[in-house]
Chains A and B, each alone.
Chain A
């Protein structure tokens, strides 16, 4: 497992010293602690106003719709309301892919991602919660019993047929327990999301934009680390690497996202991939307009690797990943079982961008990595 931690490593120190002593850089003496004169504030403004806040806004609306669908289903548990609720769940789950990387500010404080999207979930614990009716969803020990993954089980995994699933909410002896649990899960998701969006809108946006320095705690250093951490752990590893058995040596087909729904795991992966690339390019949420970004930062610094613009290499690698992933089955779990080689090859394409982003890009923009691999024991 990988954990985020603050480190001021020797490497960072070395880079810092290099930065101070190298006077052949024409972009020296800028606003960023003497590192370069790129306008970090413009980049942060674009991230906040045109990417993060609109993405959270959309996500919040979709969670509100999910809440309404849940309420309808709990009031009238039938197959058509189940189908509608499931669709709301997919819509919100898709929107989640665009905010997952923004674990900063209130989201970081609340540990939003870990309460929203841990998978696989632990079915026995979910069932025992439903049975007992007593559980504290705010406890970190319950993160694998709530969020999108738990809803996946409750909406798709209880039975093979919709009629069979509806029975859990109608004729099952503990139908009221299932109804209460699914309502509690959605209410918590709604509550957490509203807190995060409200915080961005009521002050955090300015805090984020104005913290435009270049220390380890500056907004850019933090958000770039969040971006790469998300890419490595919650995208590359969680969605592809772990199910493909990259870390275990054995393929684990039950560890895919939305395991019980089966046919949306690839779509969620693709949405996430696009969101990550759009973030890199500063593309406004749900728009074709672009603004200041990591790409424009690299271009400003004229960062070249092997004779090519680094930003181009990174975008090319995003495209290569998309191309490889295009052949994947809509159900990644099925892909693992039928032809895991394609999963492994997709992982390899994704891994190539880890090097470009985490090593080359961070070196160019003078940001040091603030997380390390954990013990694993």
Chain B
């Protein structure tokens, strides 16, 4: 019900925005929300949009996810890549990343709304990520050339001479678990629970400065504008044209998004006819929210934040259910392709993990709490040999438990 009312506010605001735009004779310019076609905002002829730090972290995460599949890496090297320090040569010949002050780990489970007080969970979550790296190095890398079976780590090849998947004794492909969990732990958490939250947007003198058009020293943006852009960057920071990021997010299989994280899966969910339009809904909300900040219409801004929170959360949940259903289908086949099934379920594991970072539009809570998420993961991995023992029935139960927290069905997400 509250979602509906928020949407109403958004719609009404949109109508007002429309009216104010079309009647520019009597309204003062400062009262208008001028919404551009692309995510292009300028002050004094210079772009006021900036989110380089997000692009950097997406690049770092991409490289790290790739190195998790390189069995010559050591734990220390991978840890350093995860928790990069300025000047350390963690990223090979990429001088820009090496020189960067940014790191992935420091922003994992680090949003103001969720983790500024709850430092216990924040620490535990970082430990989870550290643990996946450690287990990949300790348990999977040494068995790189051994064939995996129930209770035995190693590689497992997909059907038709397909890809080799490198899995733990319990069937988990940890590089997938890590990457998909980062979608929640880094991207969604930072965007939804940090930068789109009032605590960050309106911190200190942000409102006053934005009202007065006081820019950050040496920059062409106000702090509030910048914070909003940083949320945008976690979705669209890898786009070639950052003002028009939907160019590579379409409705068919031709477009693939611009990274292996939120951009990619926003594209994938948008490809599903049950969810077509979600990408433009999210993009438009970012754009209108940013325009609302320029126009100092903070209620409109917050209504857009609510839309983004709801829809980005939905992307994560849809993919969690999708992979569980794909895994279920693979396990039900007359000839079981374990490598393909476990690949899907490992991606599913990461998306389930990411659910604890989702955000209901009308409250300060996720759609599924950390303990609920842990409960689902325990169900998934409860057998002695983990995924080797999971049944289609259990996968269905978990799928339904997730879907019922959202406004879609298992069937809609599963196709």
Q: Is the CB of B162 within 8 A of A110?
A: no
Q: Give the contact stretch, choosing among A7-15, A267-275, A323-331.
A: A7-15
Give Cα A122 to B147, complex, Å.
15
Residue on A nearest B155 in the bound complex, by CB: A141
Residues of B156-179 whose CB lies within 8 A of A: 156-162
Given contacts A7-B415, A9-B415, A140-B336, contact A377 B159 (CB under 8 A): no
Q: Does A120 contact B (CB under 8 A)?
A: yes
Q: Does A315 contact B (CB under 8 A)?
A: no
Q: Is the CB of A140 within 8 A of B337?
A: yes
Q: Which residues of A contact B337 (CB under 8 A)?
A: 140
Q: Which residues of A contact B329 (CB under 8 A)?
A: 5-6
Q: Is the CB of A111 within 8 A of B335?
A: yes
Q: Does B299 contact A (CB under 8 A)?
A: no
Q: Is the CB of B273 within 8 A of A121?
A: no
Give Cα A118 to B162, complex, Å.
10
Per-residue A-contact encoding for B332-348, CB less than 8 Å = 1, 0 else:
01111111000000000
Give Cα A122 to B415, complex, Å.
33
Q: How many whole Å from B134's CB to the nearest CB in chain A?
A: 24
Q: Which residues of B contact A377 (CB under 8 A)?
A: 260
Interface residue total, chain A, C-beta cutoff 8 A? 26
Contact residue among A8, A121, A141 (Cβ-Cβ distance under 8 Å from B415) = A8
Interface residue total, chain B, C-beta cutoff 8 A? 24
Q: How many whole Å from A342's CB to the nearest CB in chain B?
A: 25
Q: Does A160 contact B (CB under 8 A)?
A: no
Give Cα A245 to B16, complex, Å.
53
Q: Is the CB of A111 within 8 A of B334?
A: yes
B interface list, Cβ under 8 A from A: 147, 156-162, 253, 260, 268, 273-274, 326, 329, 333-339, 411, 415
Q: Is the CB of B159 within 8 A of A10?
A: no
Contact residue among B160, B253, B260, B273 (Cβ-Cβ distance under 8 Å from A118) = B160
Q: Does A143 contact B (CB under 8 A)?
A: yes
Q: Is the CB of B274 within 8 A of A10?
A: yes
Given contacts A7-B415, A108-B334, A373-B253, contact A143 B273 (CB under 8 A): no
Q: Does A144 contact B (CB under 8 A)?
A: yes
Q: Which residues of A contact B162 (CB under 8 A)?
A: 1
Contact residue among A11, A110, A118, A119 (Cβ-Cβ distance under 8 Å from B334) = A110
Q: Is the CB of A143 within 8 A of B253?
A: no
Q: Is the CB of B415 within 8 A of A118?
A: no
Q: Does A296 contact B (CB under 8 A)?
A: no
Q: Is the CB of B161 within 8 A of A122?
A: yes
Given contacts A5-B329, A140-B336, contact A111 B159 (CB under 8 A): yes
Given contacts A9-B273, A11-B273, A143-B159, contact A109 B334 (CB under 8 A): yes
Give Cα A331 to B274, complex, Å.
45
Give Cα A231 to B411, complex, Å.
28
Give Cα A375 to B336, complex, Å.
18
Q: Is the CB of A114 within 8 A of B159?
A: yes
Give Cα A278 to B336, complex, Å.
33
Per-residue B-contact encoding for A316-341, CB less than 8 Å = 1, 0 else:
00000000000000000000000000
Q: A111-B159, A122-B161, A140-B157 are in contact. List 14 more A-B contacts (CB 8 A).
A: A7-B415, A9-B273, A109-B334, A110-B334, A111-B335, A114-B159, A114-B160, A114-B335, A119-B161, A120-B161, A141-B156, A143-B161, A144-B157, A144-B160
